[in-house]
């Protein structure tokens, strides 16, 4: 299938749920190719083969979308690093790497813009600056052949609205996902369902939530968003065991360990809170039942989580060939040819 005959975002969503794997920053940080803190995807230039490999792993596991790794590859982040000269090469390379994998597997290529950390609702001057930042990134996404553009992790509705306008002006479908933290409201004041409704009314093709909250604390917010809009709704939590008291991954505290270099598990010591694949399957089923049709995971996600999500939707991605089958395990298995003395020993393991 060529990019021209491949069904687009809207057609795919009309046919059933769609999976979009995110979480490249955290996975490549764990693998030793990206620095926590600034979280800038220099890896696309320094080690492009690692980015390609992760794109392939996520598609192998069931992602329908290859998201170009341009998250935080924006002018403000590169200014902090003193590397604004890398802005365009980094964006173009990220898009080309993603496009190659998308074309190889018939997946959709998504461009990506995100929170700028510049937007100030009280300062209209920053709104122009933000618009210019989005225009340059979305322009490169158009030129490199993106099928749609994701605008993500917006805590300010005002900033999300600018991203949406820029993507619409580029005549590409727009997926806009918002973040809420401790409180269920946008930082500029409105409720989440109102914000989602406004974005859908403004022409977003998909609206929803990503990042910050885990499955347990994102799920209760979804029905109200689904009810508020007449477009497909997205939910991409972080795969961590957040709670009512600690609803975000930044707020998690570890009762078993105190000696964190940064005073808290976020972002480099979240391992003990990681959801297992069965919790992700449970979230997937519950979110789909709530009416969510654009599903995925954000920071912390690994390919086994995405496979679990795909299987929960009744799919068998290529990685399902290796899904667990314990029947032939030496101790816990049920195969009659397994040694009886080992099977008898299982409770002593």
Residue closer to Zn ion, measured from CB, 51 or 298: 298
Cβ contacts of residue 203 below 8 Å, gap of 6+? Answer: 164, 168, 174
249/241 Cα distance (integer angstroms): 8
Residue 348 per-residue DSSP state: G
| 331 within 8 A of 345, measured Cβ to Cβ | yes
Integer Rg of the chain from CA: 21
Residue closer to Zn ion, measured from CB, 23 or 197: 23
Smallest distance from Zn ion to CB 39, Å: 10
Smallest distance from Zn ion to CB 72, Å: 11
Smallest distance from Zn ion to CB 279, Å: 17
Smallest distance from Zn ion to CB 267, Å: 10
DSSP output for 223-246 = HHHHHH-SS-EEEE--SB---SSS
The Cα-based distances of 215 to 30, 182, 191, 306 in angstroms read 21, 14, 20, 14
Smallest distance from Zn ion to CB 191, Å: 22
Residue closer to Zn ion, measured from CB, 156 or 197: 156
- List binders of Zn ion among 296-315 (CB under 5 A): 298-299
- Strand 18-21 and strand 233-236: pairing? unpaired
User: Which of left, alpha, beta for 59 (phi over 0: left; psi -120 to 50: alpha)?
Assistant: alpha
Q: Of the candidates 40, 38, 18, 200, which has an alpha carbon nearest to the alpha carbon of residue 110?
A: 18
Sign of CA dihedral 327, 329, 335, 336: negative
Smallest distance from Zn ion to CB 61, Å: 18
Residue closer to Zn ion, measured from CB, 160 or 211: 211
Binding region for Zn ion (CB under 5 A) out of 4-12, 69-77, 293-301, 339-347: 293-301
Residue closer to Zn ion, measured from CB, 27 or 205: 27
Residue closer to Zn ion, measured from CB, 211 or 234: 211
96/260 Cα distance (integer angstroms): 38
Total number of residues binding Zn ion (CB under 5 A)?
A: 3
| Helices within 82-123 (DSSP H only) | 87-105
Residue closer to Zn ion, measured from CB, 106 or 267: 267
- List binders of Zn ion among 247-276 (CB under 5 A): none
User: Which of left, alpha, beta for 96 (phi over 0: left; psi -120 to 50: alpha)?
Assistant: alpha
Residue closer to Zn ion, measured from CB, 174 or 211: 211
Smallest distance from Zn ion to CB 285, Å: 22
Binding region for Zn ion (CB under 5 A) out of 172-180, 247-255, 264-272, 291-299: 291-299
59/236 Cα distance (integer angstroms): 16
Report the DSSP beta bridge partners of residue 175: 150, 206
SS3 59: helix
- List binders of Zn ion among 199-238 (CB under 5 A): 211
Residue closer to Zn ion, measured from CB, 43 or 197: 43
Smallest distance from Zn ion to CB 83, Å: 22
Smallest distance from Zn ion to CB 262, Å: 17
Binding residues (CB under 5 A) for Zn ion: these are 211, 298-299
């Amino acid at each position: 299938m060529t990019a021209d005959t491949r069904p687009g975002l809207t057609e795919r969503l009309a046919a059933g749920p769609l999976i979009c794997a995110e979480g490249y920053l955290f996975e490549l940080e764990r693998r030793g190719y990206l620095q926590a803190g600034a979280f800038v995807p220099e890896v696309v230039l320094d080690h492009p083969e690692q980015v390609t490999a992760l794109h392939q792993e996520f598609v192998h596991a069931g992602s329908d979308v290859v998201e170009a790794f341009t998250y935080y590859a924006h002018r403000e982040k590169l200014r902090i690093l003193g590397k604004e000269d890398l802005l365009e090469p980094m964006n173009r390379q990220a898009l080309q790497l993603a496009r190659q994998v998308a074309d190889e597997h018939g997946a959709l290529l998504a461009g990506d813009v995100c929170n700028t950390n510049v937007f100030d609702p009280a300062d209209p001057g920053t709104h122009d600056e933000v618009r210019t930042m989005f225009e340059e990134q979305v322009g490169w996404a158009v030129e490199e052949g993106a099928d749609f553009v994701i605008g993500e992790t917006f805590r300010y509705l005002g900033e999300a609205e600018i991203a949406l306008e820029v993507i619409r002006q580029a005549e590409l479908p727009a997926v806009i996902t918002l973040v809420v933290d401790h409180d269920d409201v946008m930082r500029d004041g409105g409720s989440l369902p109102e914000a989602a409704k406004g974005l859908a009314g403004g022409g977003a093709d998909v609206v929803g939530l990503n990042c910050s909250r885990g499955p347990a604390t994102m799920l209760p917010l979804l029905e109200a968003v689904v009810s508020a809009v007449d477009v497909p709704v997205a939910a991409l939590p972080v795969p961590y065991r957040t709670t009512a008291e600690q609803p975000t991954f930044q707020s998690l505290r570890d009762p078993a360990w105190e000696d964190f270099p940064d005073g808290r598990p976020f972002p480099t010591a979240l391992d003990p809170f990681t959801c297992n694949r069965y919790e992700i399957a449970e979230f997937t089923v519950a979110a789909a039942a709530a009416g969510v049709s654009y599903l995925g995971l954000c920071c912390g996600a690994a390919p086994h989580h995405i496979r679990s999500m795909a299987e929960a939707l009744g799919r068998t991605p290529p990685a399902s060939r290796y899904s667990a089958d314990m029947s032939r395990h030496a101790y816990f298995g049920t195969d009659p040819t397994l040694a009886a003395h080992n099977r008898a020993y299982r409770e002593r393991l």
